[in-house]
């Protein structure tokens, strides 16, 4: 009887462990990672939003295992407060200006935003893509076009959606998001000299109960397979890596 | 002074004039000033890469190679001067890692191709410096850009010979110059 009880206990531990292993990770990720993460590993549980909003949720105790941010600022702030482990950079991106295929404002260059009356949509300043947008405009001497902003969105997908639906004349998004709606928008290149340094960071959330699994997932993302998936969706390698 | 000494002296002047009187007013830099500095610093990094590859290609004699080395040095100084301006103004200056410089396949295969590509980049850069020398908001910036334009003009002559000299070089806005160099910046 004692042997049976012991066997039962061992079995319970083993099945419990296996159950924990098979439970999906909860991954909080920047909205721009939506398509690539879902394709890379559809078995996990995702929450996609602006990195600033996700940072706030994690600070408030949201049950995330992994945080993938579109800007180092968000992960580093949490790291300094020991709310996530040491972040690693895993990919990079570029900004692009998109206009609807019909291009009602006749925009051919970023400089046309200054010359022509346009309805511009961008992300809020606290959202990574919103911060990057302001950097681009400042670098190009075009901050005055911020007066033409008709809407400030909470994440890049909302900006992309509004332009793709023709609700705005132009919007600043990541090049990867522009690719995703290539049939509905025209992409206008931003000069390389004006591009901001868009770096994505990822980290294990300190309160996670699945740290080992989370670390393994990040390792897979950093592997050749993970990097190939990112490349397929238009993301760029980490410079100097 | 023979032509070689003249050219080397002129290229050196590009770096010798890089003191930093403009940094005192960097906080007050207007948006267009920052655009000039961002474009200039980035393009100087491109120019420095061009000179490094041109030297490695060994397509020219010792005299021109020496001029290429001075040009590379000047480009480094020019980039630093403008990067310092940007840093002082609270901006992040460009870094070589930000770019994936793309030179057409044949650029460093023949001297003619190398010279033609180098001149295209340098002329675009000088065009913007001329505009900045006239339009920058601060006197110290205008002096800086006039100096940089003069240095780049000398580099154009050193690279392309007397035939490359233009009595009245054209000033360019950043948009036009950007179109001219974008394919090389990657």
* pLDDT tens readout for residues A121-152: 999 999 999 999 999 999 999 999 999 999 99
In 10 A of CB A160, how many CB atoms? Answer: 27
| Residue in B with minimal Cα distance to A240 | B97
Q: How confident is the model at residue B93 (pLDDT cuts 50, 70, 90)?
A: very high
- The CA distance from A74 to B70, in Å, is 43
Say how many CA atoms lie within 13 Å of B6 toward its Cβ: 9
Residue with the bigger pLDDT between B49 and A4: it is B49
Max CA pair span of chain B: 46
- The CA distance from B151 to A143, in Å, is 31
Q: What is the mean pLDDT of residues B77-81?
A: 96
| Residue in B with minimal Cα distance to A140 | B35
CB-nearest to A193 from B31, B42, B91 is B42
Residues of chain A with Cβ-Cβ distance to B34 below 8 Å are 138-139, 141
Task: Find out whether A86 and A202 touch, Cβ atoms under 8 Å.
Answer: no
Write the ipTM: 0.84
Q: How confident is the model at residue B164 (pLDDT cuts 50, 70, 90)?
A: confident
pLDDT value of position B10: 43
What DSSP string describes chain A?
Answer: -HHHHHHHHHHHHHHHHHHHHHSPPEEEEEGGGHHHHHHH-TTSEEEEE-HHHHHHHHHTT---SEEEESSHHHHHHHHHTTSB---EEEEEE-EEEEEETT-TT---STTHHHHS---EEEE-TTSHHHHHHHHHHHHTT-GGGGGGEEEEESSHHHHHHHHHTTSSSEEEEEHHHHHHTTTTEEEEEPPGGG---EEEEEEEBTT-S-HHHHHHHHHHHHSHHHHHHHHHTT-BPPTT-
Angle between helices A224-232 and A211-222 (to 10 degrees): 60
A167-171, A193-197, B158-162: range with lowest mean pLDDT? B158-162
A18-22, A46-50, A147-151, B157-161: range with lowest mean pLDDT? A18-22
pLDDT value of position A7: 45
pLDDT value of position A16: 40
Strand order in the sheet with A149-153: A149-153, A120-123, A170-174, A95-100, A185-189
Exposed e or buried b for every residue in A29-51, given b needs 16+ CB within 10 A? bbbbbbbbbeebbeebebebbbb
Residues of chain A with Cβ-Cβ distance to B95 below 8 Å are 197
pLDDT value of position B67: 93
pLDDT reading at B12 higher than 70: no
Would you call B182 and A191 a contact, using CB atoms and an 8 Å cutoff?
A: yes
Q: What is chain B's mean pLDDT, rounded?
A: 87
pLDDT value of position B21: 61
Residue with the bigger pLDDT between B90 and A77: it is A77
Query: A178 to chain B nearest CA, in Å?
Result: 19
In 3-state terms, chain B is what percent helix, strand and coil (to 5)?
Answer: 75, 0, 25
Would you call B185 and A192 a contact, using CB atoms and an 8 Å cutoff?
A: yes
pLDDT value of position B22: 57
Query: B3 to chain A nearest CA, in Å?
Result: 35
Residues of chain A with Cβ-Cβ distance to B39 below 8 Å are 193
Q: How confident is the model at residue B9 (pLDDT cuts 50, 70, 90)?
A: very low
| Residue in B with minimal Cα distance to A110 | B175
CA separation, residue A12 to residues A21, A24, A25, A58, B104 (Å): 14, 20, 22, 32, 65
pLDDT tens for B21-30 read 656 665 566 8
pLDDT value of position B31: 84
Angle between helices B139-160 and B62-88 (to 10 degrees): 160
Angle between helices B139-160 and B3-16 (to 10 degrees): 150
- The CA distance from A83 to A66, in Å, is 11
Query: B22 to chain A nearest CA, in Å?
Result: 18
pLDDT reading at B134 higher than 80: yes
Within an 8 Å CB–CB cutoff, is residue B102 touching chain A? Answer: no
Within an 8 Å CB–CB cutoff, is residue B178 touching chain A? Answer: yes
Q: What is the mean pLDDT of residues B48-69?
A: 95
CB-nearest to A193 from B32, B38, B92 is B38
Strand order in the sheet with A26-30: A45-49, A26-30, A66-69, A198-204, A88-93
Question: From the candidates A192, A194, A237, A240, which should be mutated to test the interface with B, based on the most B CB atoms within 10 A?
Answer: A192
End-to-end CA distance of chain A: 59
pLDDT reading at B6 higher than 50: no
pLDDT value of position B1: 35
Q: How confident is the model at residue B77 (pLDDT cuts 50, 70, 90)?
A: very high
The tokens describing A32, both together, are 């721009």
Residue with the bigger pLDDT between A83 and B140: it is A83
CA dihedral B70, B71, B75, B78 (to 10 degrees): 70
pLDDT tens for A183-208 read 999 999 999 999 999 999 999 999 99
CB-nearest to A138 from B31, B98, B185 is B31
CB-nearest to B38 from A109, A139, A197 is A139
Would you call A195 and B98 a contact, using CB atoms and an 8 Å cutoff?
A: yes
Task: Find out whether A194 and A140 touch, Cβ atoms under 8 Å.
Answer: yes
Q: What is the mean pLDDT of residues B93-102?
A: 93
A213-217, A218-222, B168-172: range with lowest mean pLDDT? B168-172
- The CA distance from A221 to A40, in Å, is 9
| Residue matched to tokens 């005192």 | B24
Size of the A and B interface in Cβ pairs below 8 Å: 47
pLDDT reading at B42 higher than 50: yes
Task: Find out whether A80 and A99 touch, Cβ atoms under 8 Å.
Answer: no
Q: How confident is the model at residue B47 (pLDDT cuts 50, 70, 90)?
A: very high
Q: What is the mean pLDDT of residues B100-120?
A: 95
Query: B41 to chain A nearest CA, in Å?
Result: 9
- The CA distance from A90 to A78, in Å, is 17
Q: What is chain A's mean pLDDT, rounded?
A: 92
């Amino acid at each position: 009887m004692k042997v049976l009880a012991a066997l039962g206990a061992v079995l319970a531990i083993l099945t419990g462990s296996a159950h924990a292993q098979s439970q999906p990770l909860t991954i909080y990720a920047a909205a721009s990672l939506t398509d690539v993460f879902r394709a890379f590993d559809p078995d996990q549980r995702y929450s996609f939003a602006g990195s600033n909003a996700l940072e706030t949720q994690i600070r408030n105790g949201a049950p995330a295992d992994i945080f993938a941010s579109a800007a180092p600022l968000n992960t580093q702030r949490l790291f300094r407060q020991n709310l996530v482990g040491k972040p690693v950079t895993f990919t990079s991106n570029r900004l692009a200006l998109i206009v609807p295929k019909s291009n009602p404002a006749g925009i051919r260059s970023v400089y046309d935003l200054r010359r022509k009356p346009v309805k511009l949509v961008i992300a809020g300043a606290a959202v990574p893509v919103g911060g990057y947008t302001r950097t681009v405009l400042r670098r190009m001497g075009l901050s005055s076009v911020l007066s033409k902003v008709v809407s400030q969105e909470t994440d890049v997908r909302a900006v992309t959606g509004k332009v793709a639906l023709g609700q705005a004349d132009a919007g600043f998004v990541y090049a990867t998001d522009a690719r995703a709606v290539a049939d509905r928008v025209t992409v206008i290149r931003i000069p390389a000299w004006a591009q901001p340094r868009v770096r994505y960071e990822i980290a294990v959330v300190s309160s996670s109960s699945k740290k080992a699994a989370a670390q393994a997932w990040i390792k897979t993302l950093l592997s050749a397979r993970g990097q190939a998936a990112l490349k397929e969706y238009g993301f760029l390698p980490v410079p100097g890596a | 002074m023979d032509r070689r000494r003249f050219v080397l002296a002129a290229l050196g002047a590009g770096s010798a004039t890089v003191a930093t009187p403009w940094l005192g007013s960097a906080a007050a830099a207007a948006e267009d000033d920052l655009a000039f500095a961002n474009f200039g610093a980035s393009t100087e990094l491109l120019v420095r890469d061009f000179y490094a590859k041109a030297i490695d290609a060994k397509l020219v004699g010792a005299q021109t190679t020496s001029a290429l080395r001075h040009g590379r040095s000047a480009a480094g100084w020019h980039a630093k001067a403008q990067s310092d301006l940007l840093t002082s103004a609270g901006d992040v200056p460009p870094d070589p890692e930000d770019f994936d410089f793309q030179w057409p396949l044949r650029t460093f295969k023949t001297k003619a191709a190398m010279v033609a590509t180098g001149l295209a980049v340098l002329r675009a850069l000088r065009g913007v410096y001329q505009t900045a020398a006239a339009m920058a908001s601060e006197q110290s910036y205008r002096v800086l850009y006039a100096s940089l334009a003069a240095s780049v003009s000398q580099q154009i002559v050193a690279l392309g010979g007397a035939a490359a000299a233009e009595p009245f070089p054209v000033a360019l806005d950043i948009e036009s110059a950007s179109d001219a160099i974008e394919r090389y910046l990657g």
